[in-house]
């Protein structure tokens, strides 16, 4: 079998997902054995423009990004959104809910006019995305499994059920039921992380995106029962899922 | 098999010695404000009376994630089926969970024998312990005739003071305590009866009532298939499957294949699944057969107290109360639903 050529690309992000790929350990050798990596800034200065599979990290946040991501789409047969920024707009989209002139001033000061920043968007707002590897940052095991599925031509398995499933499987005491309850977005958020945050006592903040049919009203009711305000609830949504209403 | 009596201290010492010899003993231990089954280093860790463990003991027979086979694809395909078990003593198991496990025993041994389950089961020893006070405000085992186990245990202990009254359920159980077991005396039996009478009264008083008769539940559910209660409760359902995960009798699973990146080796595993999850009935075309939250909630309740109740002549809800505790919006508890159906039906 001919090895498919693969490129990794980054837009607005911390490149933590690509670093996760680099920290695969001995599994990284399996990756090298299965594909030819022609473009991977975090690992190599070589910049090949001939690739079939593009792993795209980061959100679209300048008009130049739009052109560049479209070029990648035109070259690649398969585009994979890598991580929460590419998938959901990520934490970058928090600024979409603030006044843009304030945000620009705060970030760039009097040089703001030099930067053509636009509202942060997930890549599927601009191009067709074939597969998504969610989470902030991505999960190593899931990256390997999804990549293997793509190579096999099989639809990758990404759970459509919420984090509560994996949290219960772990035998965790529900964060809402602890002596000092913690509000958690687990009931709305797509599983696959193994309930990483609730398992160490932190609230799920929804970095894997929402399940296809989240019961938002039930969750908001629960949070109000625990004494949280509308503002608190919006903060939860805006962390990773502010764009859920405008996403396809 | 004959009942017997053992001195509490002697039994616990015996088990501690087994632990010292490297035997895997699993028991409920405290975890924050709840509990969980853990491998113990000493019987002092055991939490004999509630609260209920988050996950039922089914996880030791039917794990959350279980590799069924591994395969290698080269010029030829090699498959290795994994049927494995290891000796574990499950200690301090409550009657609701013994009954739940006994139901799983039936289900996994029906028609197609589930070798993976049965092999693990073969190696597991269940030592139950009788609950003398309700373990949690959510439990209602007394209403589901589940305060005592019918079958499915090797030993069943009741605290009668300095001694345990021991019901022996198997040869395996009998041989475990043969060196310390004593014959029961009429006074032991009298103590046991008295303790159980007090317990019955206490549970009857403290546990929530089931308004319909237990044996009428299949009929109640059959006749209320179209009740608005389902969608009213369903409207607040997250479809999070927490109720399924924590249930001692939910046994549905999903099977997934994972190929390694080298595309040569792969595994087939099963994972707990749940009928409350949206994609439980999703088929390859993308169609979902049980689309409404209310319809899924109805399905679970009907499984527990109608379909499987009629099939196996025993309710598949043992009243452990875990789902009612786990459900954040308090919509899933079968007893609550059944009482509500009953109230409206009677009007």
The last residue of one of the domains, among A118, A152, A186, is A152
Q: Say yes or no for a CB contact (<8 Å) between B263 and A151.
A: yes
The last residue of one of the domains, among B157, B177, B206, is B206
Q: Say yes or no for a CB contact (<8 Å) between A173 and B246.
A: no
Which A residues 152-181 touch B at CB under 8 Å?
Answer: 152, 157, 160-162, 164-165, 168-174, 176-179
| Residue A99, helix vs strand vs coil | coil
Based on the domain organization, do A15 and A101 belong to the same domain?
yes
Task: Pick B261's closest partner by Cβ from A144, A160, A173.
Answer: A144
- Smallest CA-to-CA distance from B90 within B176, B5, B159 is with B176
pLDDT value of position A2: 83
Based on the domain organization, do B200 and B223 belong to the same domain?
no
pLDDT in tens, A55-103: 999 999 999 999 999 999 999 999 999 999 999 999 999 999 999 999 9
Residues of A in contact with B263 (CB under 8 A): 1, 34, 148, 151-152
CB–CB of B30/B50 below 8 Å? no
| Residue B161, helix vs strand vs coil | coil
Q: Which domain holds residue B43?
A: 4-206
Q: State what percent of residues in chain A have pLDDT above 70.
A: 98
Based on the domain organization, do A72 and A146 belong to the same domain?
yes
Q: State what percent of residues in chain A have pLDDT above 90.
A: 90
pLDDT in tens, B288-298: 999 999 999 99
pLDDT in tens, A147-199: 999 999 999 999 999 999 999 999 999 999 999 999 999 999 999 999 999 99
Based on the domain organization, do B69 and B37 belong to the same domain?
yes
- Alpha carbon of A72: minimum distance to chain B alpha carbons (Å): 24
Task: Pick A215's closest partner by Cβ from B59, B237, B259.
Answer: B237
pLDDT in tens, A6-48: 999 999 999 999 999 999 999 999 999 999 999 998 888 888 8
Q: What is the CATH number of the domain that holds A62?
A: 3.40.50.700
Residues of B in contact with A212 (CB under 8 A): 278
The last residue of one of the domains, among A152, A172, A197, is A152
pLDDT band at B161 (very low <50, low <70, confident <90, very high): very high
In the A/B pair of chains, how many CB contacts fall below 8 A? 116
Based on the domain organization, do A144 and A183 belong to the same domain?
no
Task: Pick A169's closest partner by Cβ from B64, B235, B262.
Answer: B64
Q: Is the dihedral of CA B245, B247, B248, B254 positive or negative?
A: negative
Asked, for residue A157, whether it belongs to a domain, the answer is no
Based on the domain organization, do A133 and A168 belong to the same domain?
no
- Alpha carbon of B322: minimum distance to chain A alpha carbons (Å): 11
pLDDT band at A247 (very low <50, low <70, confident <90, very high): very low
pLDDT value of position A246: 47
Based on the domain organization, do A183 and A122 belong to the same domain?
no
Q: What is the ipTM of this complex?
A: 0.96
Q: Say yes or no for a CB contact (<8 Å) between A168 and B246.
A: yes
Nearest-angstrom CA–CA distance, B113 and A144: 34
Read off the pLDDT of each residue in B137-142 and give the average, rounded to a whole number.
97
Residues of A in contact with B239 (CB under 8 A): 161-162, 211, 213, 215
Based on the domain organization, do B101 and B155 belong to the same domain?
yes
Render B306-343 in DSSP notation, one character per residue: IIHHHHHTS-S-----HHHHH-TTS---HHHHHHHHHH
Residue B126, beta-bridge partner list: B90
pLDDT value of position A15: 95
CB–CB of B144/B100 below 8 Å? no
Based on the domain organization, do B109 and B137 belong to the same domain?
yes
Residue B153 in this model has a pLDDT that exceeds 60: yes
Query: H or E segment at A67?
Result: helix A63-75
Residue B1 in this model has a pLDDT that exceeds 80: no
Residue A248 in this model has a pLDDT that exceeds 70: no
Q: Which domain holds residue A222?
A: 163-240
Based on the domain organization, do A204 and A125 belong to the same domain?
no
Based on the domain organization, do B315 and B335 belong to the same domain?
yes
| Most B-contacting residue of A34, A166, A168 (CB-CB within 10 A), to test interface | A168
Based on the domain organization, do B132 and B262 belong to the same domain?
no
pLDDT value of position A245: 61
Q: Say yes or no for a CB contact (<8 Å) between B258 and A168.
A: no
Based on the domain organization, do A147 and A169 belong to the same domain?
no
- Alpha carbon of B177: minimum distance to chain A alpha carbons (Å): 31
| Residue B238, helix vs strand vs coil | coil
Query: H or E segment at B229?
Result: helix B229-234
Return the structure tokens found at A89.
Answer: 């707009």
Residues of A in contact with B293 (CB under 8 A): 215
Based on the domain organization, do B174 and B230 belong to the same domain?
no
Based on the domain organization, do A205 and A148 belong to the same domain?
no
pLDDT in tens, B243-298: 999 999 999 999 999 999 988 999 999 999 999 999 999 998 999 999 999 999 99
Its pTM stands at 0.96
Residues of A in contact with B325 (CB under 8 A): 177
Read off the pLDDT of each residue in B174-191 and give the average, rounded to a whole number.
96
The last residue of one of the domains, among A100, A123, A152, is A152
The last residue of one of the domains, among B158, B185, B206, is B206
pLDDT in tens, A34-45: 999 999 988 888
* For A1, nearest residue in chain B (alpha carbons): B263
- Alpha carbon of A33: minimum distance to chain B alpha carbons (Å): 7
pLDDT value of position A1: 66
Return the structure tokens found at A207.
Answer: 């970095």
Task: Pick B277's closest partner by Cβ from A161, A172, A173.
Answer: A161
Task: Pick A173's closest partner by Cβ from B32, B37, B274.
Answer: B32
Asked, for residue A158, whether it belongs to a domain, the answer is no
The last residue of one of the domains, among B206, B225, B248, is B206
Residue B347 in this model has a pLDDT that exceeds 80: no
Q: Say yes or no for a CB contact (<8 Å) between A165 and B53.
A: no
CA distance readout (Å), B343 to B180, B237, B338: 52, 22, 9
Which A residues 71-110 touch B at CB under 8 Å?
Answer: none
Based on the domain organization, do A175 and A138 belong to the same domain?
no
- Alpha carbon of A162: minimum distance to chain B alpha carbons (Å): 6
Based on the domain organization, do B253 and B174 belong to the same domain?
no
Q: Say yes or no for a CB contact (<8 Å) between A164 and B241.
A: yes
From the CB of residue A64, how many other CB atoms can be counted at a distance below 10 Å?
12
């Amino acid at each position: 079998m001919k090895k498919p050529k693969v490129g990794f690309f980054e837009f607005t992000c911390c490149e933590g997902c690509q670093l996760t790929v680099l920290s695969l350990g001995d599994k990284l050798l399996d990756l090298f054995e299965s594909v030819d990596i022609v473009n991977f800034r975090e690992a190599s200065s070589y910049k090949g423009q001939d690739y079939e599979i593009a792993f795209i990290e980061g959100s679209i946040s300048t008009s130049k990004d739009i052109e560049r991501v479209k070029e990648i789409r035109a070259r690649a047969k398969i585009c994979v959104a890598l991580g929460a920024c590419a998938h959901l707009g990520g934490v970058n989209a928090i600024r979409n809910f603030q006044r843009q002139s304030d945000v620009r001033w705060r970030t760039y000061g009097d040089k703001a006019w030099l930067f053509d920043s636009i509202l942060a968007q997930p890549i599927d707002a601009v191009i067709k995305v074939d597969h998504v590897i969610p989470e902030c940052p991505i999960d190593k095991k899931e990256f390997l499994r999804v990549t293997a599925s793509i190579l096999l031509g099989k639809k990758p398995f990404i759970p459509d059920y919420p984090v509560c499933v994996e949290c219960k499987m772990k035998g965790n005491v529900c964060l809402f039921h602890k002596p000092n309850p913690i509000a958690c977005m687990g009931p709305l958020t797509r599983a696959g992380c193994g309930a990483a945050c609730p398992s160490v006592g932190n609230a799920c903040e929804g970095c894997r995106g929402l399940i296809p049919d989240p019961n938002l009203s039930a969750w908001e009711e629960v949070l109000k029962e625990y004494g949280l305000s509308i503002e608190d609830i919006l903060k939860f949504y805006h962390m990773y899922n502010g764009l859920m209403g405008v996403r396809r | 098999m004959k009942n017997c009596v053992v001195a509490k201290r002697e039994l616990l010492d015996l088990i501690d010695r087994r632990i010292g010899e490297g035997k895997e003993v699993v028991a409920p231990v405290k975890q924050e404000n709840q509990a969980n089954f853990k491998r113990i280093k000493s019987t002092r860790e055991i939490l004999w009376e509630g609260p209920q463990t988050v996950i039922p003991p089914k996880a030791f027979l039917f794990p959350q994630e279980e590799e069924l086979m591994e395969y290698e694809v080269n010029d030829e395909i090699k498959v290795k089926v994994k049927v494995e078990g290891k000796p574990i003593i499950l200690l301090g198991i409550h009657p609701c969970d013994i009954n739940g496990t006994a139901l799983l025993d039936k289900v996994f041994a029906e028609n197609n024998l589930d070798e993976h389950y049965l092999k693990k089961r073969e190696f597991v020893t269940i030592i139950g312990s009788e609950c003398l006070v309700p373990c949690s405000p959510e439990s209602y085992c007394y209403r589901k005739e589940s305060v005592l186990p019918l079958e499915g245990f090797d030993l069943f202990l009741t605290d009668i003071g300095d001694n345990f009254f021991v019901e022996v359920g198997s040869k395996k159980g009998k041989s475990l305590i043969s060196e310390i077991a004593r014959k029961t005396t009429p006074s032991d039996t009298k103590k046991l009866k008295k303790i159980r009478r007090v317990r019955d009264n206490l549970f009857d008083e403290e546990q929530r009532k089931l308004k319909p008769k237990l044996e009428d539940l299949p009929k109640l559910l059959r006749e209320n298939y179209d009740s608005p209660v389902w969608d009213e409760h369903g409207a607040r359902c997250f479809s999070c499957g927490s109720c399924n995960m924590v249930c001692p009798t939910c046994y549905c699973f999903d099977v997934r294949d994972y190929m390694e990146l080298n595309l040569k080796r792969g595994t087939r595993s099963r994972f707990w699944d749940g009928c409350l999850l949206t994609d439980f009935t999703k088929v390859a075309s993308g169609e979902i057969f049980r689309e409404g939250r209310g319809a899924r909630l109805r399905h679970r309740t009907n499984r527990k107290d109608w379909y499987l109740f009629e099939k196996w002549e025993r309710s598949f809800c043992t009243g452990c109360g875990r789902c009612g505790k786990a459900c954040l919006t308090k919509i899933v508890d079968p007893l609550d639903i059944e009482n509500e159906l009953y109230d409206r039906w009677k009007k």
